[in-house]
Each structure stands twice: as structure tokens, then as C-alpha cells.
Amino acid sequence: MTQANPKTLFNVRVHSITDLAEDIRAFELVDPKGGDLAAFTAGAHIDIHIDDGLVRQFSLCNSPRERHRYEIAVLNEPDGRGGSLALHEKVAEGDILTVSEPRNHFRLVDDAVRHLLLAGGIGVTPMMAMMETLETVGADYVIHYCTRTPLNTAFMDRLIPLAEQGKVFFHHDGGDPSQGLDIDATLDNPRAGTHLYYCGPPGFMSAAASAAVDHWPEGTVHFEYFTPPEEDRDEPLENKPFQVKVVSTGDVFDIPADETIIEVLRGAGLTIDTSCEDGYCATCMTRYLEGEPEHRDAVLDDEDRAEFVLICCARSRTPVLVLDL
């Protein structure tokens, strides 16, 4: 078999597991030999290979200055896709896990005058690393952290001192979003030079996107999805057949209207790293060399899209799309 879009993988040891809040556990991962881990930047995530081919993404929530460890926080979601449940029920301290090098599609903007962070539930995880970086450089920032109750609120020990400084605001809605943060009012009048970052469950993401779309300047809004975004279309997108050429072999594959690029290439014997297969994790990100993709992901920015495509969901606007595989 041919390995497509290979990634650097390495082993880590689970050094500690800590309960952070109701159904949320922190996993501290270290090098089995005591060395430094691959560097990362705030907002980055890693792939964790759990078992039986299960690969899931988890944001790193410790300071990027800490090269000796990674910290992830995992919400146990019994009705999810299996990754969180496996970590909560099957992984113990001392276990060895295989992970990828960190990747970042949710970066802080270095030259922003001010940073406004909105976190819904477990969407706070990438923002913990952001907060650490912003504190280090003395940047102007505010975090609004939305949860159901204080019992569902992770990282209280790290956040309460910052709340006392007016940098973190907690919003508990008791299960009724109308009783929590007024997202429309919060995003209604952006200050010049401010960049917005948001991450959370689907309803939270939709509310933030709707509130920001008409008010915030282009290039100042940044977000990361943990689950597929809610559809906001009157009619589904039309799928048309096209062809994909694999440059390393010259093979050309027909992509029917009812199959994805990944499904066709996998059926032809290529081993391709995937996870969500819904366009929001970027595990299958692949460079394209010719053609014009029809991007349908919720991850890549314009700069990424000029060079890469997520082959789990993208189609092609041209008859042939040439992939660097």
C-alpha cells in the first residue's frame, strides 16, 4: 500500500490524569525517555492514536514554553465519536500513546492590539495555551468562558486569579443559553485592532459566527470547530463528478458524485490518515498542484487554501485535480 499525507508520529507516556471538572479530565503527556517534546504554538492540537485505528484531535492547553510536557483536557462524551470515551475508560497513568507532531490552524495574531476570546464548554482548551502566551508577552486580552454550571467549568485554579484581574469572565447559563453571555452585545461594536477567537459546541459557534459576520473587519475573526458546523444553506451543495491525479504514480481516479476523494483513494489501496471525515480536523490536509478545488471545510484559511485541500470533503471546480501524493 502507498501511504498518503504521512505525518511524524512518536510515543508519549501518560504521566498523570487529573479530574478538572464534571466529566472533564486532564492528561499530562511526557516523553518516555524524559526528553523534550516537539515544539508547539498556542492554539495547536495533536492527533492521538487510541486503538483500532481510532485517531482523534485534542488541543494542547499548557504553555508552549513547557517543552517537557503536553497537557490535553478531554470531555467525556458517551454519544460522541468514541475518542473521549476511550481516553476516559481505557487510558491509565503509565500508558504509552502514539501522537502526531502539533499542528495549528487556530493561531494567535501577533500584531493584534487586543484579543477577545470566547470559549464555550470544552472549547476553552486551545484558549488556555493562548492565555499563557498572551500573559507571557503582556498582551491586552479578555476571555469570556461559558459553561452550564461552575461544576462544568475546568481550569478554575488557573483562571480565578485572572478573573480577579478582570481578564476572565465566567458565564453559567444553567442549560439555557439565553441566560448566559449575550454574544450579540459582546460582539456588536469591535474596537479597532481587536481580533476575535471563538471555539465551542455547534450552537455556540453559530451564535458567534452570526454575531460577528456583519460587524467585524475581514481577517479579524478566527475560530476552531470540534464538531461539524451546523449547515446554513437553503439547499444542499451539488456534487459533480471529476478526476483526481496522484502525481507520484501518475494514476488518475474517477471521483463519482456520491463518493469523496478519500473514499475512492482508500478503495484503490492508498492508506490515508483521516479522523473526522467532515472537514473540521485537517488530518487529511493534502497539497494540490493543479486544478481548482471547491473547498468545503471549516478549518483552512485563505492562505492555506491557496496550497492545500481537505480531501475528505472537497470537490473540484476543474475536471482534474492534481494531488501531491
Tell me: the pLDDT tens digits for 140-187? 999 999 999 999 999 999 999 999 999 999 999 999 988 999 999 999
Domains of the chain: 7-100 (2.40.30.10), 114-225 (3.40.50.80), 242-323 (3.10.20.30)
CB 203 within 8 A of CB 121: no
Q: Which residues contact 82 (CB under 8 A, 6 or more apart)?
A: 54, 56
DSSP category for residue 176? -
* Contact present, 130 and 115 (Cβ < 8 Å): yes
**pLDDT at site 3:** 40
- The pTM (predicted TM-score) of the whole model is 0.82
pLDDT cut 70: percent of the chain above it? 93
Q: Report the pLDDT value the prediction gives residue 203, as an integer from 0 to 100.
A: 92
Taking the alpha carbons at both ends of the chain, their separation in whole angstroms is 13
pLDDT above 80: residue 237: no
- At residue 205, the pLDDT reads 93
Average pLDDT, the chain: 90
Tell me if 214 sits within 8 A of 208, measured CB to CB: no
Is 158 in contact with 61 (CB distance < 8 Å)? no
CA triple 116-121-124, angle to 5 deg: 45
180 vs 51: which has the higher pLDDT? 180
Q: What is the pLDDT of residue 230?
A: 59
Over residues 75-98, mean pLDDT: 87
Lowest mean pLDDT among 35-39, 148-152, 166-170, 299-303: 299-303
The whole-angstrom separation of Cα 44 and Cα 157 is 22
Q: What is the pLDDT of residue 235?
A: 57
Q: Going edge to edge, which strands form the sheet with 285-290?
A: 252-255, 242-246, 320-323, 285-290, 308-310
Please give the residue that has the higher pLDDT: either 119 or 229: 119
- Listed residue (10, 6, 152) closest to 73, CA to CA: 152
Mean pLDDT of 290-298: 90
**Cα separation, 206 vs 220, whole angstroms:** 17
CA distances (Å), origin 85, targets 6, 122, 316: 26, 15, 36
Alpha carbon distance 191, 58 (integer Å)? 31
Q: What is the DSSP letter of 107?
A: P
The predicted structure's pLDDT at residue 141:
98
Most confident listed range (166-175, 218-227, 271-280, 303-312): 166-175
Residue 4's pLDDT is 43
Q: What's the pLDDT band for 192 if we cut at 50, 70, 90?
A: very high
Is residue 242 a contact partner of residue 318, using CB atoms and an 8 Å limit?
yes
As a whole-number percent, the residues of the chain with pLDDT over 90 amount to 74
| CA 244 to the chain's CA centroid | 27
**Of 132, 129, 58, 63, residue with least CA distance to 99:** 58
**For 244-254, what is the mean pLDDT?**
93
> Which pLDDT band holds residue 300 (cuts at 50, 70, 90)?
confident
Give the pLDDT score at 40: 97
Asked if pLDDT for residue 92 goes beyond 90, the answer is yes
Which residues of 140-292 form beta strands (DSSP E)?
Answer: 141-147, 168-172, 194-200, 221-225, 242-246, 252-255, 270-272, 285-290
pLDDT band at 278 (very low <50, low <70, confident <90, very high): confident
pLDDT value at residue 2: 36
275/29: higher pLDDT: 29
Residue 5's pLDDT is 47
For residue 16, count other CB atoms closer than 10 A to its CB.
Answer: 13
